[in-house]
Amino acid sequence: MNSRPLRVTVVGAGPAGIFTAAALTDQDAVPVEVHVLDRLPTPFGLVRHGVAPDHTAIRDLRKSLQRVLERDAVRFTGNVEVGSDISLAELQASTHAVVLTYGAARDRSLGIPGEQLPGSIPATDLVSWYCGHPGTDPSAVEALLSGATSAVVVGVGNVALDVVRILAKGPGELESTDMPQHVLQALAGSRLRDIHLVGRRSPARATFTTKELRELGELPGVGVRVDPRDLELDPVEAAAAEANKVAGRNLAILREWSERPRTETARTVHLHFWSRPREVLGTDRVSGLVLERTAPDGEGGVALTGEDRTIPAQLLIRSVGYRSVPLAGLPFDAGAHVVPNHRGRVVDDGVPLAGHYVAGWLKRGPSGVIGTNKMDALETVGAVLEDVPQLLGREVGHDLAQQLAERGLVTTDMRAWRRIDDHEVGLGASRGRLRTTVHDWEELLSIAGGRPDALP
């Protein structure tokens, strides 16, 4: 057994990063010291700022993630941005291994005319707003929402369904969530009546899960409409649905919805498949979206038909995928938006970059569910452990915490997080809720008692 501890810095305190810390400290072959950094003042990443607030069971994963961060061999430091407050090279000089897990925070674009008009926003902006992400400008989102009676969500994944569901729900159904109070107030005042979800391919190719889809049809006061023509499948699409149990269950739900009698409801969700966004209409802001009808090409793809229609809308939400961004000093595949790697080892022109590793979406792209990150982290940690002889064979400089302290950075730790946690729970209790999320960055630091980092 090695007696010298292996110092590992994990960049990103979301599920991928915390699962990495768990895997490193679950093993006893090598003593480790794990330092988890995050640019936000709070831990948990997408579990706090990406999972829909009305999905409380998934958000409760924070409890088990917190237990990992409270382990003796793990240290959390928030409000530190790698690449700005400290460079990757400096991290590498003070630690034996760096595992980067900062995810995929940017949206992919549609690449169509009018996409940049006011009223067209990426899904991450809306999700960050209703989850209380401190990097979001609430007033900008709320101004767009307040003037909209019709919204279009482009995308057929679970994030798109989350957005549709949150916009469609009545305010009473969201009161029990931990949404910031200003979000609840804005949603309560929303004038939205029609919410459209658009996908360019067959419903058999949609990536949402059955549970997420079924929820739409169970919302009180919300009608769901599906064009029966969208559910007509050619042999290739029918075979795809037959081979994929989730797709088959989804199609059964969609068919049932397409047969429902149409009644007047407070809000209506319209699902459109075989529809390619072609142009965003508007002059000073979004006024509509032009869709071109697509058709199966017989090989699992789509063919354009030249048949256009327009959906009037004042709000366009783009949910067509996420992408990671490069970090200075790190190889990056600009096409796939990932860091080139082999089993988590960062590679540069096929050659492993000593001491550099990745996990999560930065490693494999934005795919899978939260639990997928656990096996992904185990693979990366396996590579780290295999490399221990080489990693421990070099000298490292000052402890990372000491470097941060010397720079006088205002940071947070787990004690600070517990103060934030207690404050949010108390704020929620004062309003008859379990928690109310604080969204303002400076307020979070104030509650936390953010201070220049110091050695314990």
Residue 185 pLDDT class (50, 70, 90 cuts): very high
Indicate whether 105 pLDDT > 80: no
DSSP letter at 446 equals: H
- Give the start-to-end residue ranges of the domains of the chain: 6-105+324-452, 110-320
- Which H or E element spans position 21? helix 15-26
CB count within 10 Å of CB 423 equals 18
Q: CA torsion, points 439, 444, 447, 451, in degrees to nearest 10?
A: 180
Res 86 pLDDT > 90: yes
Question: How many residues are present in the chain?
Answer: 456
pLDDT given at position 98? 97
CA dist list (Å): 352 to 15, 60, 238, 311, 330: 25, 37, 44, 50, 12
Please state the φ and ψ torsions of residue 455, each to the nearest 5 degrees: -65, 145
* Helix ranges (DSSP H) in 51-180: 56-59, 61-69, 88-94, 123-131, 138-146, 158-168, 171-174
Which CATH superfamily groups domain 6-105+324-452? NAD(P)-binding Rossmann-like Domain (3.40.50.720)
pLDDT value at residue 140? 93
Tell me: pLDDT of 133 over 60: yes
Question: What's the average model confidence in pLDDT over 403-427?
Answer: 92
The yes-or-no verdict on residue 1 having pLDDT over 60 is no
Q: Residue 90 — φ and ψ, nearest 5°?
A: -70, -40
Question: 437-441, 442-446, 449-453 — which is least confidently predicted?
Answer: 449-453
- The reported pLDDT for the residue numbered 406 is 85
Placement of tokens 């149409």 in the chain: 262
Output the 3-class SS for 309-322.
EEEECCEEEECCCE
pLDDT, residue 3, reads 67
Q: Of 26-40, 368-382, 387-401, which gets the smallest average pLDDT? A: 387-401
Q: What does the block give as tokens for 360?
A: 């999560």
Average pLDDT, integer, range 126-140: 94
Q: Mean pLDDT throughout 235-246?
A: 90
Say if residue 456's pLDDT is above 50: no
Percent pLDDT > 70 in the chain is 98
Average pLDDT over residues 397-405: 80
CATH architecture of the domain 110-320 equals 3-Layer(bba) Sandwich (3.50)
Closest CA to 263 of 313, 222, 217: 222
Token pair 């081979």 in the structure block, residue: 243
Q: Is the pLDDT of residue 455 over 70?
A: no
Each residue of 270-307: pLDDT tens digit? Answer: 999 999 999 999 999 999 999 999 998 888 889 999 99
Radius of gyration, CA atoms only, the chain: 23
Give residue for tokens 């916009």: 167
How far is Cα of residue 122 from the mean position of the Cα atoms in its chain?
12
Q: pTM for this one?
A: 0.92
Q: What is the pLDDT of residues 14-25, one digit of tens each?
A: 999 999 999 999
In angstroms, rounded to a whole number, what is the distance separating the alpha carbons of residues 216 and 225? Answer: 11
Cβ-based neighbours of 453, under 8 Å, separated by 6 or more = 77, 401, 404, 405, 409, 411, 413
Q: What is the pLDDT of residue 326?
A: 85
Residue 202 has pLDDT above 90, yes or no: yes
Least confident range from 152-156, 345-349, 370-374: namely 370-374
Tell me which long-range contacts 143-148 makes (C-beta under 8 A, separation of at least 24). Answer: 144/118, 144/119, 144/314, 144/315, 145/186, 145/187, 145/190, 145/192, 145/315, 146/186, 146/189, 146/190, 146/191, 147/285, 147/314, 148/119, 148/190, 148/191, 148/192, 148/313, 148/314, 148/315
Query: Angle of helix 414-429 relative to helix 441-448, nearest 10 degrees?
Result: 110
Higher pLDDT, 15 or 401: 15
Tens of pLDDT, residues 307-334: 999 999 999 999 987 778 888 889 999 8
DSSP bridge partners of 244: none
Question: 3-state DSSP call for residue 79?
Answer: coil
Bridge pairing between strands 315-318 and 120-122? parallel
CA 203 to chain CA mean position, Å: 23
Instruction: Please give the pLDDT value at position 452.
Output: 44
What tens digit of pLDDT does each residue of 205-225 get? 999 999 999 999 999 999 999
pLDDT band at 84 (very low <50, low <70, confident <90, very high): very high
Percent of the chain predicted with pLDDT > 90: 79
Is pLDDT above 90 for 107? no
- How far is Cα 291 from Cα 304, in angstroms, rounded to an integer? 11
User: Does 450 score more than 70 pLDDT?
Assistant: no
42 pLDDT above the threshold of 60: yes
Mean pLDDT, rounded, for 73-87: 95
What confidence category does residue 170 fall into, taking pLDDT thresholds of 50, 70 and 90? confident
- Residues 329, 355: contact at Cβ < 8 Å? no
Rounded distance, CA 436 to CA 420, Å?
Answer: 11
